[in-house]
Structure 1
Amino acid sequence: MTYRARVFALYAGTPGDTLDAELVDETIDLPRPQGDQLIAEPIYGCWAGNMTHALQRRPADICRQRNEPKVVLGNSGVVRVLDVGPDVRDLRPGQLCLLFSASVLDAHGYPIKAFAYDAPGTMGCLATRMLLRAHELLALPDGTRHDLARWAAFSGASITAWSNWELAFGTLRLQLHADELPAPHVWGWGGGTTLATLDLARRHGCRTVQLSADPGRRALIERAGVTALARDQFPALAFDEPRFASDLAYRRAYLDSEAAFLREVERRTGGEGVHVFVDYIGQPVWRATLKALARQGVVTTAGWKLGMSLGHLRATECIARHQFIHTHFARRSQGLAAVAWAEAHDWLPEADPPVAFDRVPELARAHADGRTGFYPIFAVNPL
């Protein structure tokens, strides 16, 4: 017995190919599940930044990285189990689950490679049916009171945020206890995962600010209870070291924007600085982030959108007792804790209205152009 699936596939590029890839609409056959495998049908998927990176082949062509001719992307979503292999014990046909992208794990259960991205042999939810393994799913609470499209957005960004915030906030509290710093200032650059982190920080008594140049996204930030700050007040705040050294006009414009940004930080924090800075951007804002950081402050990330290599002066950071947190998604116990807390406390993102599966290529282009919200949803097999 086989299962037929319609998919949007990403094919490998040729060596040196720098053109954005197109998704290919095609039909494939999936085998009946064996061992710990299962067949599921996606209900909703959420387009995530790693999917856009894959189409842009930056920082890598993941098909070539996996040594596979094509990949089906999509590791954030809600699925319904259709069929299970003989070794699957805790999941049953008809059950609703979240995709859990920790595919290749280390000895302690922390992810090394992500399902439907760089983990070989995995396929994602850009498909009407998908073959996956049991540990790549988390069961949703039976009879959940929350919308499934919101859960689809939650499965990637919010679980990443939970793990990252747990470590970042715990690190801050090792240096400054709650009686010393009852309401830390937590700021963020970035998109949906940053907002999920700041929403969690807000719920833990922190004073939160997220920067965005897009008015629609600022409205979404405000609806989440986080203060939105217009990034376009600081138009040249994108640091380029070679240009800074060679272009006087650029240098002056950058320094003016940086000074304005730091004045705003000082004003909003009463001169304390930012205690936790959530930075999913990287190199263009790294200099400003470090200058804005309070003593005993923490910079935290689980991504590398613009610049995989960063530099800083170790002596300065040691004296300031600055801490640098790097995480990659979450381990299973953290995913389970995040789901339980979200169900109880309504900690789920405000998702975009779902678009039809046929329109996934349009959605991909819109996301790459910054024309979506933080959590773009596509409906595959809506209930």
Structure 2
Amino acid sequence: MVGPHDGGPGAALRRDRFPFGPLEEGEALVEPILGSWEANMDHALTRSPIDVCSSRGEDTVVLGNLGVVRVLQVNARSGEFQVREGDLCLLMPFGRQDRFGYAELAYAYDCPGTIGLLAERTKLDARLLLPLPDGTPYSLPQWAAYGRYFTAWDNWQKAYGCWRTQVADDDPANHLVFGWGGGVAFAELTLARRAGFRVAMTAGSDERIAFLREHGITPVDRRRFPDLSLPGRRERTDRDRHQRRRASVEDLLDVVRNLSDGHGVSIFVDNIGEPLYDVTLNALAREGVVTTCGWKAGMRLSHLRGAESIARHLHVNTHVWRLPDSPGIRDFMETGGWIAPKGSDVIYDFDRVPELADGYASGRIGSYFPLYRVNPL
């Protein structure tokens, strides 16, 4: 539960009782098993880019919109929904949808009245529950990271489709897909690799570099470019800091040129935002696509519209995915083995969730797939 903010992200969490009424028609009572810690939870705790409590008009909010739950009870006529008591399901994070099935408000984030998975029991709209495949060979921790994969699937479909509108028939093997580090970018680059592209991604630790290399992605050590991000407000008049940044940027662009035969990045997965956005654009090839489905560090971006037009750069922005596509994405993960690698997660017990929140915010968690356990299987 997130309440008054008086420090770091972990300090904004409070363990308390959260009452809710009886099940209304179409609702399910569920027992969260594993939840996935996501950037939207960090945004909620830091009150940026919005204060979700104020936005929802509520004093406290129970976070957690992605995870595996066990169904305890369903208030519905027999056969009305696809879930039954005892089923293990994935929560689809749709609060309010538009007419095409895309999310306008996210469940357990900015959608009023929604109760998340950071609770021993919660109730939700049964239509948001997607059962796990019967007899799946994959573990619950592997499935619990699905949010990053569902998001990556949707974003990749749109980015690749846009790229093909301008580069209709060239071999993907001639082109580089690059990403700033993160779990969604990792999932997306594995799709790009399956499509035949060269793939590379930044990482800031030996553990992550080894992980990327193990899964066929060329790692680019972020520590080689220590001043890559835009100077902060206090550094903007520091000429030496700007010179160091120019050196870091040029060093990274050299790496990109070497990986792309001098052409630049054909599809750049940038879920960071403002601190690195100018680097992303400088690294793009002609007819390149910059694609994003998140905004970890800065939502306000600017670019030279004429330069982007002349270079025929396409900008793709997506959010979540389309609810009717959910079963198909799940089945693609199951049949194609496109899922979080076994053992790649890290799991925090429920009492350690504030520690998880602080570790995520400060970049101390090595895994791309941080999870929290609420109830035993």
Match in the other structure for 2:29: 39
Could you tell me which runs of 5 or more consecutive residues in structure 1 were left unpaired when the two chains were aligned.
1-8
> Could you say if the C-alpha distance between residues 33 and 175 of structure 1 is closer, same or farther in structure 2, counting changes exceeding 3 Å?
same
- State the TM-score, normalized to the length of structure 2: 0.93
CA distance in 2, matches of 1:152, 1:219: 23
What is the one-letter code of the residue matched to 1:369? S
Deviation at 1:179, TM superposition (A): 3.7
Cα shift at 1:117: 0.7
Conservation of the 8 A alpha-carbon contact between 2:231 and 2:242:
no
Q: 1:205-244 to 2 correspondence within 5 Å?
A: 205-240=196-231
Residues 212-263 of structure 1 show CA distances to partners (whole Å, capped at 9, x for unaligned) of 2222222222233212110111111112497887432122111111111111
Match of 1:6 in 2: none
Aligned length: 371
- The structure 2 residue matched to 1:357, chosen from 350, 358, 364, is 350
Task: Judge conservation of contact 1:32–1:39 (CA < 8 Å) in 2.
Answer: no
Q: 365, 372, 378: which is aligned to 2:372?
A: 378
Deviation of 1:184 (Å): 2.7
What residue number does 1:308 align with? 299
Q: Which runs of 5+ in 2 are unaligned?
A: none
1:12 deviation in Å?
4.2
Q: Among residues 96, 110, 128, which one is paired with 1:104 in the alignment?
A: 96
1:181–1:24: structure 2 CA closer, same or farther, 3 Å change rule?
A: closer
Kindly indicate whether residue 281 of structure 2 is the aligned counterpart of residue 290 of structure 1.
yes
Offset of 1:294 from its aligned partner? Answer: 0.6
Q: Which residue identity does 2:247 align to in structure 1?
A: D
Partner deviation per Cα, 1:104-123 (whole Å, 9 max, x = no partner):
10011110111111111111
SS at match of 2:29: strand
- Alignment match, 1:133: 125
Worse-superposed segment, 76-85 or 160-169: 76-85
Deviations 1:164-211 (A, max 9, x none): 000001111111124454453100013111111111211221111111
Cα deviations across residues 67-122 of structure 1 (Å, max 9, x unaligned)?
A: 10111111111111111122652211111111111221001111011111111111
Match among 68, 75, 84 for residue 85 of structure 1: 75
The answer to whether the 8 A contact 1:44-1:152 is kept is yes
Which residue in 2 is equivalent to 1:266?
Answer: 257
Whole-Å Cα distance in 1 between the matches of residues 72 and 54 of structure 2? 31
Superposition CA RMSD, Å: 1.9
CA gap of 1:209–1:180, structure 2 versus 1, over 3 A, is: closer
Q: What SS class does the counterpart of residue 137 from structure 2 fall into?
A: coil
Q: Output the amino acid matched with 2:361.
A: A
Q: Say which of 53, 60, 65 aligns to 1:75.
A: 65
C-alpha contact 1:355 1:379 (8 A) present in aligned 2: yes
The CA distance in 2 between the partners of 1:124 and 1:281, in whole Å, is 25
Shift of 1:286: 0.9
Q: Distance in 2 between matches of 1:73 and 1:345?
A: 31
